[in-house]
Amino acid sequence: MLRLLSRLYDEAAWRRRQWYGRRPDARRRLRQPVISVGALAVGGSGKTPLTAHVARTLVAMGERPAILSRGFGRSRPLDGAVVVRDSERVVGELATAGDEPWMLAQALDGVAIVVATDRYLAGRLAEIHLGATVHLLDDGFQHLQLERGTDLLVVAPADLDDPVVLPAGRLRERVATARHADAVLVVDEADERRDWVADRLGVSRSFTVRRRVGPAVAAPMHAEPVELGPGARVIAVAGIARPERFFDDIRDLGFVLAHTLVFRDHHRYSPRDVERIQADARTARAEAILTTEKDGVRLQPWLPFGLPLAMLPLTFTTDPVDEFRVFLADRIAAQRTSAA
């Protein structure tokens, strides 16, 4: 049954993309260049930390980027566009932003962040009122309603091992749609493997994405690093798409992982959850509770805990970094020329 549903889903997604391809006027166009960061697979691909890296790169290039997000998982969604950060300071709140935009807002100086179901509306607000010179679509590869000049596609080789679309597999669209990307970003692979992925997908440009985890940072975000080193006994809390990789990161950093707690992606923590986390930490005789940045922003309203709550920041860089910057500059210049 799942395979049948996958075939139906696959065909519907393919026809939708073809429909927009035949009708370019159906896409709305913002005045400033648009860069999309997206993925073929659902959950855990690293789109959000990669979006943060691209945003920082654009700031270093002299741009004023705006991240346009749908704000998935908002506990208090509002109509229209919501400004989470105006490039100079945070002006929103978690409930109306969603966990990922709120996390980005804490971390990205010089970047505006706007949340809306209609990302064209978010972009126009950013252009008119926030001085945006370039837009970033977080998780935008399937957001075909908005025209963009550059599509960056995050891919892991494992995504191609069993390329089946939802619900039987993890892909949102068939592999053939990857050829619409302008560059493939392959996470933590050798150059030869990266080139193999790009060839497999039919994309001429590719870059390697390097992951870096830690050091542990105490909540709230941007506090001084906590004194937790190799050998510290901890428990881990994760409400993300692929918690196993987070747990592996903790072990790789030398922590003694005494216990793990897994919640669904974008989970809204309750007082009962917090009581359970602290009770499990005491039972495990843990020195601290480790969690992801995304979970950290959702747990902040319940602080302080009886034990230190620390986050392991996840940052991405692109390799070769200079070529990636030149690539972005060329794509932005080409889009500005075509719009002139």
- 196 in Cβ contact with 160 (< 8 Å): no
Tens digits of residue pLDDT in 198-251: 999 999 999 999 989 888 888 765 455 567 878 999 999 999 988 999 999 999
Does a cis peptide bond (omega within 30 degrees of 0) precede residue 230? no
| pLDDT confidence of residue 42 | 87
160 band by pLDDT with thresholds 50, 70 and 90:
confident
Question: Does 215-312 match 2-212+317-339 at the fold level?
Answer: yes
Q: CATH second-level architecture of 2-212+317-339?
A: 3-Layer(aba) Sandwich (3.40)
**Alpha carbon distance 36, 78 (integer Å):** 24
| pLDDT confidence of residue 222 | 43
List, as one string, the DSSP characters of 24-78. GGGSB--SS-EEEEEESBSS-S-HHHHHHHHHHHHHHTT--EEEEE--TT-SS--
Q: What CATH class has 215-312?
A: alpha beta
| pLDDT confidence of residue 187 | 87
Q: CB-based contacts of 142: which residues, under 8 Å, 6+ apart?
A: 13, 38, 172, 173
Question: Is the pLDDT score of 158 beyond 70?
Answer: yes
| pLDDT confidence of residue 225 | 55
| pLDDT confidence of residue 224 | 53
Tens digits of residue pLDDT in 17-52: 999 999 989 999 999 999 999 999 987 778 889 999
Query: What are the sequence ranges of the domains in the chain?
Result: 2-212+317-339, 215-312
pTM attached to this predicted model: 0.91
